Structure 1
Amino acid sequence: MAAGTVVTTRFSSPSQHWKVGSMKIGIIGAGNIGGNLTRRLTALGHKVSVANSRGPQTLTALAEETGATPVPVSEAAQDAQVVVVTIPLRAIPDLPAGFLDGAAPCAVVIDTCNYYPQRDGRIAVIEDGLTESRWTERQIGHPVIKAFNGTYAQDLLDRGRPQGSPGRQALPVAGDDAGAKQTVCDLIDELGFDTVDAGGLDESWRQQPGTPVYGNRGDADTIAKALAAASPERTAQWRA
Structure 2
Amino acid sequence: MTNVGIIGAGSIGQALARTFIAHGHTVTIANSRGPETLAELVAELGPSATAATAAEAGAAGEVVVVTVPLRNYRDIPVEPLAGKIVIDTNNYYFERDGHISELDEGTATTSGLLQAHLPESRVAKGFNHIGARDIPTTGSPAGTPDRRALATASDHEDAAELVAAIYDEFGFDTVHLGPLSESWRVERDRPAYVVRQNREELEANVARAPRTV
Q: Does 1:85 align with 2:66?
A: yes
CA distance in 2 between partners of 1:220 and 1:28 (Å): 29
- Asked if the contact 1:198/1:207 (under 8 Å) is kept, the reply is no
Select which of 79, 95, 106 maps to 1:98.
79
CA distance in 1 between partners of 2:169 and 2:179 (Å): 23
CA distance in 2 between partners of 1:177 and 1:88 (Å): 24
**Runs of at least 4 residues of structure 1 off by over 6 A?**
none
Q: Residues 48 and 90 of structure 1: is their aligned pair in 2 closer, same or farther, counting only changes over 3 Å?
A: same
- Asked if the contact 1:206/1:230 (under 8 Å) is kept, the reply is yes
Q: Does 1:24 align with 2:8?
A: no
Q: Does 1:131 align with 2:113?
A: no
CA distance in 1 between partners of 2:37 and 2:28 (Å): 14
Q: Secondary structure at the match of 2:58?
A: coil
Q: Does 1:115 align with 2:92?
A: yes
Select which of 137, 143, 155 maps to 1:158.
137
Alignment of 1:1-240 (within 5 A): 22-67=1-46, 68-101=49-82, 106-129=83-106, 130-141=108-119, 142-232=121-211, 234-235=212-213
CA distance in 1 between partners of 2:152 and 2:193 (Å): 12
In structure 1, the gaps of 5 or more residues are: 1-21, 236-240
Matched to 1:96, the amino acid is P
Q: Secondary structure at the match of 2:79?
A: coil
Matched-pair identity in %: 43
The superposition leaves residues 26-50 of structure 1 with CA deviations (integer Å, 9 ceiling, x where unpaired) of 0001111100000010111112100
Q: Secondary structure at the match of 2:162?
A: helix
The alpha carbon displacement at 1:97 in A equals: 4.8
- Asked if the contact 1:23/1:47 (under 8 Å) is kept, the reply is yes
CA distance in 1 between partners of 2:11 and 2:143 (Å): 27
CA distance in 2 between partners of 1:35 and 1:60 (Å): 13
Worse-matched range after superposition: 152-161 or 133-142: 133-142
CA distance in 1 between partners of 2:66 and 2:155 (Å): 17
Higher RCO (CA 8 Å, separation ≥ 6 residues): 1
Matched to 2:103, the amino acid is I
- RMSD value over aligned CA atoms? 1.3
- Asked if the contact 1:39/1:66 (under 8 Å) is kept, the reply is yes
CA distance in 2 between partners of 1:148 and 1:41 (Å): 13
The superposition leaves residues 195-223 of structure 1 with CA deviations (integer Å, 9 ceiling, x where unpaired) of 11112111111112111111121111110
Q: Secondary structure at the match of 1:133?
A: helix
